[in-house]
Amino acid sequence: MMELLTTHYNYVVFAVLLGIGLYMIIDDENLVKKVIGLNVFQTGIFLFFITISVRDGGLPAVGKGSESAYVNPLPHVLILTAIVVGVSLTALALALVVRIHEEYGSIREDVVVEVLEDE
């Protein structure tokens, strides 16, 4: 068990990040923190993809030493795309939070729901 933790700690961090992110999305009343939670959740998945591309003693695929082992570049490219998607989503989410704050004067979900019920 300990050996698994010390050699595969990336996977442990991946699972922990997913858990923290999901918990923040579900539990936190602060809408900005929900968005941060979403980012943490996605970062966990990015870490998973980067981890699976690693090979022991592997070098970056770009550059010299084509004879030696190299890490799989495909997951890197995929995650580069996924990061762009994540940034766009964060931008949109924050824009919506700004709009909600303008309308209801709060970024806390419970307060906003209260205002809505009073209307």
Partner 1 sequence: MSDLTLLPILLVVVPLVTAAFLLAVGRFVGGAGRVLALVATLANTAIAFVLAGETLGQDGRPIRTEIAGFPAAEGGIELFVDGISAVVLGLIALVSLGVLVASFDRRRQDSFYALYVLLMAGLSGMVVTNDLFNLYVFLEISGLATYALIASDGSGRSALASLKYLLVGTVGASLYLLGVGYAFVATGYLNMVQLEGAFAEIGHQEPLVQTAFALIAAGLVIKIALFPVHTWQPDAYTEAPDRVTALVAALVSTTAAYALVRISLGVFTPAFFEANSLIHTLLLALAGASVVAGSVLAVMQREVKRMLAYSSVAQFGLVVLGIYLLNGTALTGTVIHLLGHAIIKVGLFLGVAAFATAYGVRTVSEYDGLAERAPYASAAVAVLALALVGMPPTVGFVGKFYIAIGAFEAGAWALLAIIVASTVLTLGYVMRLLERMYFADPPDSSPVSPPAADLSTDGGDPTDESATDGDHTVDEPSNDGPSNDVSRTDTAAAGRISRPLLAVVIVAALATLALGVLGSTIEGALAATVEVLV
Q: Out of 74, 80, 83, 87, which residue is the one contacting partner 1 (CB under 8 A)? A: 74
- Residue 70: strand pairing partners: 59
Please answer whether residues 47 and 14 qualify as being in contact, where contact means their C-beta atoms are separated by less than 8 angstroms: yes
Number of residues that bind partner 1 (CB under 8 A): 32
Measured CA to CA, the distance from residue 46 to residue 82 in angstroms comes to 8
Angstrom distances, CA of residue 21 to CA of 17, 43, 63, 89: 6, 9, 36, 15
Query: For partner 1, which is the closer residue by CB, 68 or 81?
Result: 81
Chain residues binding partner 1 by CB under 8 A are 22, 25, 31, 34-35, 38, 41-42, 45, 48-49, 52, 74-75, 78, 81-82, 85, 88-89, 92-93, 96-97, 99-100, 102-104, 112, 116, 119
